[in-house]
Structure 1
Amino acid sequence: MHTKDCIMTKDIKQEVYRNQNRTQKLMVLFPGMGYTCDKPLLHYAKAYGFLYGYDILCINYGKMTFDKSKVLSSIAPAYEIAKEALNMINLTNYEKIIFISKSLGTVVAGQLSKEYTMDIQNIFLTPLKETIPYMENSEDVTISGDHDPMLSCDNLQLIQEQPITSFVFPNANHSLEVEKDPVQSIDYLHQVAKIYEKICV
Structure 2
Amino acid sequence: MKLCVIFPGIGYHCEKPLLYYSAKLAKSKGYDVIPLKFSGFDNSTKGNEEKMSAAAAHALEQAEAQLTDTDFSKYEKIVFIGKSIGTIACLAYRERYGTNASCILLTPLAMTFESLSHRCTAFHGTADQWADTEAIRKLCIKHLVPLHEYENANHSLETGDTFTDIRTLLDVTEKIADLL
Paired position in structure 1 for 2:27 = 50
Secondary structure at the counterpart of residue 92 of structure 2: helix
Structure that is richer in strand per residue: 1
Q: Structure 1 CA distance, aligned partners of 2:117 and 2:154?
A: 25
Q: Aligned AA for 1:95?
A: E
1:120-135 → structure 2 map (5 Å cutoff) = 120-134=101-115
**Which whole-Å CA distance do the structure 2 matches of 1:116 and 1:193 have between them?**
28
| 1:152 aligned to which of 96, 115, 132 | 132
The residue correspondences of 1:179-190 to structure 2 (distance < 5 A) are 179=160, 181-190=161-170
**Partner SS for 1:198:** helix
Distance 1:143 1:102 in 2: 10
Q: With a CA cutoff of 8 Å and minimum separation of 6, indicate the structure with the bigger relative contact order.
A: 2
Change (3 A) 1:72 1:165: same
Say whether residues 1:102 and 2:83 are aligned partners: yes
SS in 2 for 1:89: coil
The answer (yes or no) to whether the contact 2:8–2:82 under 8 Å persists in 1 is yes
Residue number in structure 1 paired with 2:149:
168
In 1: Cα distance, 2:52 partner to 2:113 partner: 16
Distance 1:172 1:160 in 2: 18
SS at 1:29 equivalent = strand
Q: Which residue of 2 aligns with 1:198?
A: 178
How many angstroms does 1:164 deviate by? Answer: 1.8
Compared CA separation, residues 154 and 196, structure 1 to 2 (3 A): closer
Aligned residues with identical type, % of pairs? 31
**Distance in 2 separating the partners of 1:43 and 1:153:** 25
Unaligned runs of 5+ in 2: none
CA distance in 2, matches of 1:156, 1:72: 18
The aligned residue for residue 73 of structure 1 is 54
What RMSD over aligned residues (CA atoms) do the two structures have, in Å? 1.7
If the length of structure 1 is used for normalisation, what is the TM-score?
A: 0.81
3-state SS of paired residue (1:98): strand
Query: How far, CA to CA, are the matches of 1:65 and 1:38 in structure 2?
Result: 21
Does 1:36 find its partner at 2:13?
Answer: yes
Aligned mates of 1:153, 1:165 — CA distance in 2: 14
Structure 2 counterpart of 1:172, one-letter code = A
